[in-house]
C-alpha cells in the first residue's frame, strides 16, 4: 500500500465562514477529515500533519517554507509522496521556494488547495485533494515516482510549481504555467507527460537548503516612473537582489538617469535581473536598443522565469552563498530545477 503524507498549512480549502463577520478563516484539520471521508477509505494510506495554527497563505513567510521543507526531509524515507494543502494566494511562491530548498527530489511534493472551502456544496477541494494524493502516490512500471518534482495540482492540471502564477481569483482554474506545458492532465485517466518531467541526477540524494535572505525587491517599470522612486528602492539598506520587471522582450526607458541608477547599483554588488512583465515569452536582451543599456549597466537576463521563481531563487541563493555575489550571479544564469529555459543550454 502506498503511503502519502498530507501537510496542512491552511488556505481556503481548510476554511469556514465566521458567522459574525462573514469572512473566511482557517479552521483545523478536522474540517478536512470530516468532509473528505474518502481519505480513510482510499487504497492509499494518508497520514496528516497539520501546522498549527493553520493560516491564510497571505501570512506565509520563509520560516513556513523552511518548516514545510524540513517536514518533507524528515519524513522522506517513510512516504512515497507528499501533498501540501496551501492557500492559493501565495502557492506559486511557496512551490518555487520548495523547489530550490529540496534539491535532488526523487519523490513528488504536490501543492494544492481550492477556491471554495471544503464544506461548501460546489467545492473544488475534494477533486483537487484526492487527485493530488493519487499523483503523489503514482509510480511507473519500475516503481519510480511518476513526477519526482515540486508541483501544483489545480482543477485538472499538474504544473511544475516553479513555472506557475496564480492567474484567477474567481475561476476554479486558478493557476497557469505560461512558459512550460502541464506535466499531467486529469480526466477519466491521469495522463502524464514523462518527457516534460524533471528528473534529478541518478544516484543523487535529497539535499535540504533552507537558508534564505529576504533582502530582495521587485521594481516594476511603468511609463512615467521617477528617478526618486528608482533611486530610493535601489539604495535600500541591505538590498542584495532586484527583479526588474521590464516591458516586452526585456526593454526599459532609455533615460540616462535610469542607466546610471542601475549601473551604480550593480557597482555596489546589487544583482539586478531582467524579467519581462509579459506572462508568456522570454527576455531577449539586445534585441532592441532599449535593452542594450540594461546589458551595459550589468543587468542579467531572467529569460522566461516567473517573478515568483526568480524572487525565491534569489532569496535561496543569497541565503546559501552569503556574500559570494559572483556565485549567486552564476547560479542565476543557470537552470537549477526546471525553473527557466536558457537559450543554447
Ligand atoms: N486567501 C486564501 C489563501 O491564500 C485564498 C485561497 O486559498 O484560495 O490562503
Whether 12 is a known active-site residue: answer yes
**pTM attached to this predicted model:** 0.97
CATH number of domain containing 42: 3.40.50.1170
Q: How far is the CA of 26 from the centre of ligand 1 (A)?
A: 10
Q: With contact defined as beta carbons under 8 Å apart, do 98 and 109 qualify? A: yes
- Does residue 36 sit in the same domain as residue 181? yes
Residue 345's pLDDT is 47
Closest ligand 1 atom to 114 CA: 8
- Measured distance CA(91)–CA(154) in Å, rounded: 11
- Does residue 144 sit in the same domain as residue 245? no
Q: Write out the three cell numbers for 158.
A: 499538474
Buried b (16+ CB within 10 A) or exposed e, 60-87: bebebbbebbebbeeebeebbbbbbbbb
- Does residue 34 sit in the same domain as residue 172? yes
- Does residue 26 sit in the same domain as residue 99? yes
**Closest to 162 (Cα-Cα) out of 326, 54, 317, 308:** 308
- pLDDT tens, residue by residue, 253-272: 999 999 999 999 999 999 99
Last residue of a domain, one of 208, 224, 242: 208
Closest ligand 1 atom to 11 CA: 9
- Does residue 199 sit in the same domain as residue 55? yes
Domain assignment of residue 254, yes or no = yes
**Closest to 269 (Cα-Cα) out of 245, 242, 248, 288:** 242
Q: How far is the CA of 252 from the centre of ligand 1 (A)?
A: 34
- Residue 334 DSSP symbol: S
Last residue of a domain, one of 208, 233, 262: 208
- Measured distance CA(248)–CA(282) in Å, rounded: 8
Domain assignment of residue 151, yes or no = yes
- Does residue 104 sit in the same domain as residue 230? no
Say how far residue 201 (Cα) sits from the centre of its chain: 21
Our count of domains for the chain comes to: 2
- Does residue 278 sit in the same domain as residue 134? no
- pLDDT tens, residue by residue, 211-249: 999 999 999 999 999 999 999 999 999 999 999 999 999
Ligand 1 pocket, Cβ-based, cut-off 6 angstroms:
10-12, 56-58, 87-89, 113, 115
SS3 assignment, position 330: helix
Residue 336's pLDDT is 96
What pLDDT band is residue 19 in, cutting at 50, 70 and 90?
confident
| HEC readout, 120-154 | CCCCCHHHHHHHHHHHHHCECCCCCECCCCEEEEE
- Does residue 159 sit in the same domain as residue 197? yes
Domain assignment of residue 342, yes or no = no
Domain assignment of residue 341, yes or no = no
Residue 12's pLDDT is 95
- Does residue 190 sit in the same domain as residue 220? no
- Does residue 28 sit in the same domain as residue 170? yes
Residue 78's pLDDT is 98
Residue 48's pLDDT is 96
CATH number of domain containing 291: 3.40.50.40
- Does residue 174 sit in the same domain as residue 228? no
Note the residue count of the chain: 345
Q: Write out the three cell numbers for 214.
A: 529576504
Q: How far is the CA of 263 from the centre of ligand 1 (A)?
A: 39
Q: What is the mean pLDDT of residues 126-155?
A: 97
The two beta strands, 157-160 and 184-186, are antiparallel
Q: How far is the CA of 162 from the centre of ligand 1 (A)?
A: 18
Domain assignment of residue 227, yes or no = yes
Instruction: Kindly report the protein residue whose alpha carbon is nearest to atom 7 of ligand 1.
Output: 87
Domain assignment of residue 98, yes or no = yes
CB-facing half-sphere around the CA of 207: CA atoms within 13 A: 11
Strand partners, 207: 103
Angle at the Cα of 60 from the Cα atoms of 54 and 63, rounded to 5 degrees: 100
- pLDDT tens, residue by residue, 67-111: 999 999 999 999 999 999 999 999 999 999 999 999 999 999 999
- Does residue 91 sit in the same domain as residue 147? yes
**Closest to 198 (Cα-Cα) out of 105, 276, 112:** 105
Q: What is the mean pLDDT of residues 139-164?
A: 97
Domain assignment of residue 343, yes or no = no
Domain assignment of residue 339, yes or no = no
Domain containing 281 equals 216-332
Pocket probe mutation, ligand 1, options 60, 87, 116, 172, max atoms within 8 Å of Cβ: 87
- Measured distance CA(111)–CA(175) in Å, rounded: 12
Last residue of a domain, one of 167, 187, 208: 208
Amino acid at each position: 500500500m502506498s503511503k502519502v503524507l498530507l501537510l496542512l498549512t491552511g488556505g481556503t480549502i481548510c476554511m469556514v465562514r465566521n458567522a459574525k463577520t462573514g469572512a473566511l478563516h482557517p479552521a483545523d484539520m478536522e474540517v478536512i477529515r470530516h468532509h473528505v471521508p474518502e481519505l480513510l477509505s482510499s487504497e492509499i494510506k494518508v497520514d496528516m500533519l497539520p501546522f498549527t495554527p493553520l493560516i491564510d497563505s497571505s501570512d506565509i513567510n520563509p520560516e513556513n517554507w523552511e518548516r514545510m521543507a524540513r517536514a518533507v526531509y524528515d519524513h522522506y524515507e517513510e512516504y512515497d509522496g507528499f501533498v501540501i494543502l496551501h492557500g492559493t494566494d501565495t502557492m506559486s511562491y511557496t512551490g518555487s521556494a520548495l523547489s530550490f530548498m529540496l534539491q535532488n527530489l526523487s519523490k513528488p511534493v504536490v501543492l494544492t488547495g481550492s477556491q471554495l472551502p471544503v464544506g461548501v456544496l460546489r467545492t473544488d477541494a475534494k477533486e483537487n485533494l484526492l487527485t493530488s494524493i493519487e499523483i503523489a502516490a503514482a509510480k511507473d512500471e519500475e516503481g519510480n515516482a511518476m513526477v519526482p518534482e515540486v508541483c501544483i495540482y489545480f482543477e485538472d492540471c499538474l504544473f511544475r510549481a516553479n513555472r506557475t502564477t496564480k492567474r484567477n481569483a474567481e475561476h476554479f482554474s486558478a493557476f497557469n504555467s505560461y512558459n512550460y506545458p502541464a506535466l499531467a492532465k486529469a480526466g477519466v485517466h491521469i495522463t502524464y507527460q514523462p518527457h516534460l518531467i524533471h528528473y534529478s541526477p541518478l544516484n543523487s540524494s535529497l539535499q535540504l537548503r533552507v537558508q534564505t535572505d529576504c533582502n530582495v525587491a521587485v521594481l516594476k517599470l511603468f511609463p512615467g516612473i521617477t528617478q526618486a522612486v528608482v533611486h530610493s528602492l535601489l539604495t535600500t539598506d541591505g538590498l542584495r537582489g532586484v527583479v526588474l520587471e521590464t516591458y516586452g522582450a526585456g526593454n526599459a526607458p532609455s533615460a540616462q538617469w535610469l542607466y546610471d541608477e542601475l549601473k551604480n547599483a550593480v557597482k555596489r554588488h546589487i544583482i539586478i535581473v531582467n524579467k519581462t512583465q509579459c506572462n508568456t515569452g522570454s527576455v531577449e536582451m539586445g534585441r532592441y536598443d532599449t535593452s542594450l543599456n540594461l546589458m551595459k549597466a550589468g543587468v542579467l537576463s531572467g529569460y522566461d522565469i516567473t517573478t515568483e521563481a526568480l524572487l525565491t531563487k534569489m532569496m535561496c541563493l543569497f541565503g546559501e552563498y552569503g556574500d559570494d555575489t559572483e556565485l549567486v550571479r552564476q547560479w542565476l544564469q543557470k537552470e537549477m530545477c526546471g525553473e527557466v529555459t536558457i537559450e543554447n543550454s
